[in-house]
């Protein structure tokens, strides 16, 4: 069969295009300005699947359901970070009912196994539950396929733990829905470790993020993360409302607190001002905890000063770190400082507090 002749393109036939977009854009029908503005606003948010949500999802839960479905379809994973009490369990079960035709593996903390069992049975979604502790021992569900739900996924934020090393290879080739109200515990890299359980490191390459691990390891963020991490902070009527009750302090408590502040204020604590402020903060936190904690902090500081005084009498001048190193478990026992190597010439420890400290301990132990 002969080839069709190729069209001839000559310079005289070329026409300059004033706007390249006009060659590909096809305007739609006319619409009111309000409709156009609403469409533009929706286009800036996460894409939502047109799938109808099950009837047992609340109206405020349905946007999270549709957004998670879209993300799993595109990237094979998503992280739902809705607040505590917003029904992430039921949203996840709705996603599982939509995507899985068989039993869904759910990895949840042991303390939540009964809660998940009741929720899944209530909506008729078949699940196989596995605790995080079982994952740590390498005991993962068998015979399940497709989507995996990982509740409290922040427990898998450290790639060096056994549970992470067992779970990561098991998830290879499978999509995962991660649920947690605290996706970042200590650092942004926590989020990267969770996402990479099922999502490629370069999943957001077309959105300008070459590497999720590199981005979050540097403590940075990007709008494109909204394609993978979803949080709906809309108010939910059935969620328990936070109640704050303020009760004025008892007059006796106020007097005690003022007395503690006055006593701590009389101590010099250190010749270094910054060190003195740190020690003062320790005393005040102990006093805020309980009278027993405050007493123990005073006794502990007295032991340190007594060892420092004995060392000085023996010709040794040690700083706070060296004293703690030598006397960590000795409490009030005698130390032969003369047998130790000669210490440094200066120390920031203020021995002048010892007499005042003795009076404070006696006053705290015997308020009468």
- Kindly state the percentage of the chain with pLDDT values over 90: 39
- In this prediction, residue 275 carries a pLDDT of 81
- In this prediction, residue 339 carries a pLDDT of 47
C-alpha gyration radius of the chain = 33
Is the pLDDT confidence value at 320 over 70? no
Instruction: Please give the average per-residue pLDDT across 126-132, as a whole number.
Output: 95
Using pLDDT thresholds of 50, 70 and 90, give the confidence band for residue 341: low
- In this prediction, residue 171 carries a pLDDT of 94
The least confident of 137-146, 228-237, 311-320 is: 311-320
The least confident of 47-51, 162-166, 203-207, 317-321 is: 317-321
- In this prediction, residue 170 carries a pLDDT of 95
- Kindly state the percentage of the chain with pLDDT values over 70: 86
The least confident of 103-117, 135-149, 206-220, 288-302 is: 288-302
| Distance, CA of 232 to CA of 66 (rounded, Å) | 12
Q: Does domain 44-230 have CATH number 1.10.150.120?
A: no
Each residue's pLDDT tens digit, 45-63: 778 888 999 999 998 899 9
Using pLDDT thresholds of 50, 70 and 90, give the confidence band for residue 10: confident
Sheet hosting strand 176-179, strand order edge to edge: 127-131, 104-108, 148-151, 176-179, 77-80, 229-230
Q: Where are the domains of the chain?
A: 44-230, 251-365
| Distance, CA of 253 to CA of 112 (rounded, Å) | 40
- In this prediction, residue 116 carries a pLDDT of 95
Is the pLDDT confidence value at 325 over 50? yes
pTM score: 0.59
Q: Return the higher-pLDDT residue of 263 and 189.
A: 189
The least confident of 214-228, 256-270, 324-338 is: 324-338
The least confident of 167-181, 193-207, 346-360 is: 346-360
- In this prediction, residue 79 carries a pLDDT of 96
Concatenated DSSP letters of 64-80: HHHHHHHHHHHHSEEEE
- In this prediction, residue 281 carries a pLDDT of 86
Tokens of 146: 């497709």
Could you tell me which residues come within 8 angstroms of residue 87 by beta carbon, excluding any fewer than 6 positions away? 57, 58, 61, 236
| Distance, CA of 302 to CA of 292 (rounded, Å) | 15
């Amino acid at each position: 069969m002969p080839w069709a002749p190729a069209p001839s393109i000559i310079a005289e036939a070329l026409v300059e295009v004033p706007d390249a977009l006009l060659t590909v854009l096809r305007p739609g029908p006319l619409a009111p300005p309000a409709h156009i503005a609403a469409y533009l606003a929706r286009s800036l948010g996460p894409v939502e699947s047109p799938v109808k949500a099950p009837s047992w999802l609340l109206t405020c839960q349905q946007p999270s359901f549709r957004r998670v479905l879209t993300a799993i379809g595109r990237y094979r994973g998503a992280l739902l970070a809705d607040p505590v009490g917003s029904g992430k369990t039921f949203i996840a079960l709705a996603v599982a009912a939509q995507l899985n035709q068989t039993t869904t593996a759910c990895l949840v903390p042991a303390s939540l196994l009964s809660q998940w069992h009741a929720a899944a049975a209530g909506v008729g979604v078949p699940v196989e539950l596995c605790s995080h502790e079982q994952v740590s021992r390498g005991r993962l569900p068998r015979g399940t396929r497709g989507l995996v739900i990982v509740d409290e996924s922040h427990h898998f934020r450290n790639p060096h733990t056994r549970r992470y090393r067992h779970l990561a290879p098991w998830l290879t080739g499978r999509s995962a829905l991660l649920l947690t109200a605290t996706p970042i515990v200590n650092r942004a890299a926590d989020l990267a470790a969770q996402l990479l359980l099922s999502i490629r490191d370069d999943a957001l390459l077309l959105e300008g993020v070459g590497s999720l691990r590199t981005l979050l390891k540097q403590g940075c963020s990007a709008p494109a993360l909204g394609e993978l991490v979803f949080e709906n902070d809309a108010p939910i009527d059935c969620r328990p409302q936070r109640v704050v009750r303020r009760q004025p302090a008892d007059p006796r408590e106020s007097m005690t607190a003022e007395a503690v502040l006055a006593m701590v204020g009389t101590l010099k604590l250190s010749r270094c001002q910054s060190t003195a402020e740190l020690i003062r903060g320790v005393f005040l936190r102990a006093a805020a905890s309980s009278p027993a904690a405050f007493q123990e902090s005073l006794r502990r500081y007295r032991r340190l000063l007594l060892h420092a005084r004995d060392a000085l009498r023996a010709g040794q001048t040690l700083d706070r770190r060296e004293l703690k190193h030598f006397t960590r478990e000795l409490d009030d026992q005698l130390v032969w400082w003369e047998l130790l190597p000669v210490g440094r010439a200066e120390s920031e420890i203020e021995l002048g507090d010892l007499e005042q400290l003795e009076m404070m301990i006696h006053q705290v132990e015997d308020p009468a």
